Amino acid sequence: MRQLHGRLAASGSRGATVYARGWPHHDPRTAALLNGIAGRSIELCEGLRLVSGQAAMQILPGVLAVGEAARSPGHQLLAALLLGYDVAGRLAGGFTPRPLAHQNGQVSLLAAAAAGARLWGLDAAGISRAMRIATTLLLTPSYANAVAGATTLNVAGGMSGFAAALAPELVLAGFEAQEDAIEEALGQLVGSAFTPDGILDELGTRWHITRNYFRLYACCNPIHSALDRLREALAELQPNPHQVKRIDVATYRFASVMRNPDPPNYFASKYSLPHAAAVMVVRGNAGFAELDDSALQDPLIAALRHRVHVTEDPEMSAVAPRLRPARVTVTLTDGRQAVRSGDSQRGDFQRPFTEAEIRGKFRELAGVLLTPEGVSRVEDAVERCEDWESTDALTQLLRRHGRP
């Protein structure tokens, strides 16, 4: 305990940046927690495509906070992110979560602990111990939080960053953990089964960070396939909102349950397919700028939500999550109709967005807190992050070019 107290006090005095207006400093654990919660809250994070998990938003806040406190150079930050992401993907491949469990704060929390341990210079045994210690920090967030508008779900994402900063300190202070902590935690406690079979397959040649997806719609990923189909139908019909008589969506089960036409708040609106569809019809897109607080109160959008009807197609459910199919039928008041079907949405490694689209997303989000010059300078800095001497190469730009 004396060792832990001394280490936490020392790392707290070095501090880490909170990526928010004013760029305040906190201890690394608090900074990672705040950045992780914030990153989750707008529902635009990327994720693992073939297994469940939003790995980067769980791992990167801890990497940035620990890396700043440890004065890690850019190539070490990148290595920690890449290896942490791979841990998340490989553990998720053998993990069977409980039916209602959201994977934030589960396998990705262990991966974040591994990334943080690497940045503190721990060897393989030390990284293993950090991950095993972190099993005592695993969470049990419920998917029911999402449709209920319970923003506590985002705290689970932030806790992964917290664990990335705390678990290595516990190792260095002398804390121990049982040898089978990960198998027990994932297989019997927070999960219903876990197998290590295949966990080392193609190690060092298959990188899970290359098998991800990105989002441009600011809402839950399972409903993106339906939104892609809706965009195609609207492009054909070119209706104004008053001409839309009804929108019928057939999709796989997990997406079909997100059908509440009256989400109670901004966060719940991210998990409502009727709301996202209505926003797309009225505002032309369902991105960060369109799916904002005002959309929830817009009377035209509110009325249109009740003309969106969502059902499960059992044949589509049978092929999910390998595929994420949807069929959308838009019917207008003049009798015209358009039907569009597709196996999955764009944006994953199999059907990627263009680099221009990804950079456009970065510029839009960064522009909330940075001047136009700052957005450009930070984009250039991130492009060569492996050459950074420390995170100062980033944080000094943020402070210099932040909006007042």
50 pLDDT above the threshold of 90: no
Question: How far from each other are the two terminal CA atoms of the chain, in whole angstroms?
Answer: 42
- Contact predicate 130/167, CB 8 Å: yes
**Structure tokens that stand for 204 in this block:** 């060092």
State the pLDDT at residue 93: 94
39 pLDDT above the threshold of 90: yes
51 pLDDT above the threshold of 90: no
Residues 69, 12: Cα–Cα separation, whole Å: 8
| Residues contacting residue 271 through CB under 8 Å, at least 6 positions apart | 146, 147, 219, 220, 223, 258, 260, 263
In terms of DSSP bridges, do strands 47-48 and 25-26 run parallel, antiparallel, or are they unpaired?
unpaired
- Contact predicate 259/310, CB 8 Å: yes
State the pLDDT at residue 31: 97
One-character DSSP codes across 55-92: HHHHHHHHHHHHHHHHT--HHHHHHHHHHHHHHHHHHH
State the pLDDT at residue 103: 87
Residues 214, 350: Cα–Cα separation, whole Å: 11
pLDDT, tens only, 88-132: 999 999 999 998 899 899 999 999 999 999 999 999 999 999 999
Cis peptide bond upstream of 261, omega within 30: no
Percent of the chain with pLDDT over 70: 100
* Alpha carbon 240 to its chain's center: 33
Residue 90 φ/ψ, nearest 5 degrees: -75, -40
pLDDT, tens only, 296-330: 999 999 999 999 999 999 999 999 989 999 999 99
State the pLDDT at residue 208: 96
pLDDT, tens only, 284-302: 999 999 999 999 999 999 9
**Structure tokens that stand for 266 in this block:** 């901004």
